[in-house]
Chains A and B, each alone.
Chain A
Amino acid sequence: MSKKDEILKDQNGFDTTEVIPKGKFSAITPLSQRVYLEITGSEEKDGIFELGERAVVIGRSAECDIQLGVQNVSRKHARVLLQNEEYLIEDLESTNGVFVNGIKVVKCVLRNNDQIEIGGVKLVFNEEKRLRKK
């Protein structure tokens, strides 16, 4: 009996599970995640804003991380933050409110493809998860 046969048969002669070397998996990172807001309804600011671990403030003020120069947008209108490994949006007591899929919300956990509206500006929340090679 070869050495390989010894490994693959237990004492009763039944097949056992072969151990796969760790190196076979090391080239793949299990999951990569890209999370971003796609701004679609603003003439001056269409584009993509990547989200990370830091909270992001959206509003008309120049201090905001995402500045929307639209009159219906409050100076500090909304905040997107990561909490319990989920992104959520909250209204910062804005004048015209925050809408998610057409519903006026105070706070809402965001899911992929949620349609956000802030003072007439439309933003889409995108959450892409995929396997990625190193």
Chain B
Amino acid sequence: MRSLVEEKMLVTFWGTRGSISTPGRTTEKYGGNTPCVTIENQGTRIILDAGTGIRNLGIELVREAESRKQPLALHLFLSHTHWDHIQGLPFFQPAYLKDTKVTIYGSPKKESFLASVLKRQMDYEYFPVSMSALTADIRIQEMSEENIHLGPIMIDWEEQVFHPGGSVRYRFSAHGKKVVYATDVELDLFFGRDNRTEEKEAAAREYLRFIHGVDLLIADGMFSAEEYPGKAGWGHASIPAVIEAAAKAEVKQLAVFHHDPQHSDKNLDELWVKYRSRYLLGPHKMDLFWAREGLTLAI
């Protein structure tokens, strides 16, 4: 008989910061590494994005592979290829292990986009080790319209256009539970009341349908309401926009993610205090928190 924990997806945050890593005392609680999250269930291990947080994950995985004497089989899903989501990959230790298998998934939107972008990041001008020196068995797979099945986890996805260059949101379903990873999208542009268009209406409907009733939504909430007007068009959501959309879609638990590099632990604590109580006591009870490094949840 499987334990309750085995039936659940384990979600761990390895990097929660947006745009650039922010080491230092003022960010040690929520973390300074750029995006990287893992989802695990019954031996299937999925990695979301390869920001600087993937370095610490890699150290843990190598330690685990050595103690279990089992090669690693990993599935890396990229939301997009902006630096903060891929810059940890050259420092991902399992990629240098010959018997590791890594499949990298990403948007099929641009031909050869994914393979060439990842390879260019490791051009000699930028990094001393070329991608061909990664000895792991690395396969790059641009996704098709078909759902992906990995062990007990089913994955579907949608393109997000309200981010410069676009991004992908993913939904992971297992044992009747759902987790959505939807970072780097400017919700304010299509949920805002100004300049409504059919395209924006459709984008809002699709977004709400995709996240409807999910058990955990990990979503971009980079700017405070006060900061957002000065950052409109940057491709990131304001905190109230993501909270309102999640509440409307009856999301059970919302992890605000992709924290602004300017936000210290104190700032994020204040935002948490400001918004959390409203939704714990409101008509639709939604658990709301700010994602932090080193946190593992069971969904």
Contact = CB atoms under 8 A, between A and B. Distances in A.
Interface in A63-119: 86, 88, 93, 100-109, 111-112
A111 B297 contact: no
A108 B294 contact: yes
Interface in B268-293: 272, 276, 287, 289, 292-293
A108 B296 contact: yes
A111 B276 contact: no
B28 A107 contact: no
Contacts, number: 40
Given A101-B289, A102-B276, A106-B10, A86 B5 contact: no
B3 A103 contact: no
Main secondary structure of the interface of B (DSSP, over half): mixed
B298 interface: yes
Size bracket of the B interface: 10 to 19
A102 B4 contact: no
Nearest to B29: A111
A105 B4 contact: no
Interface centre among A93, A101, A103, A107 (most CB of B within 10 A): A103
Size bracket of the A interface: 10 to 19
A109 B289 contact: no
Contacts of A112: 29
Nearest to B294: A109
A106 B13 CA distance: 12
Contacts of A102: 276, 287, 289
A108 B295 contact: yes
Contact of A88 (B272, B276, B294): B294
B289 A105 contact: no
Given A93-B4, A111-B28, A111-B29, A104 B289 contact: no
Interface string B1-25: 0011100001010000000000000
Contacts of B296: 105-108
A73 to B, nearest CB: 18
Contacts of A100: 295
Nearest to A103: B289
Contact of B295 (A86, A93, A105): A105
A102 B228 CA distance: 28
Interface centre among B28, B293, B294 (most CB of A within 10 A): B294
A45 to B, nearest CB: 27
Contacts of A107: 12, 294-296
A77 to B, nearest CB: 14
B287 to A, nearest CB: 7
B257 to A, nearest CB: 14
6 contacts: A93-B5, A102-B276, A103-B287, A106-B5, A107-B296, A111-B28
Interface of A: 86, 88, 93, 100-109, 111-112
Name the 5 nearest CB pairs between A and B, nearest first: A109-B294, A107-B296, A111-B29, A106-B296, A106-B298
Given A88-B294, A102-B276, 17 more contacts: A86-B294, A100-B295, A101-B272, A101-B289, A102-B289, A103-B289, A104-B297, A105-B295, A105-B296, A106-B5, A106-B297, A107-B294, A107-B295, A107-B296, A108-B296, A109-B294, A112-B29
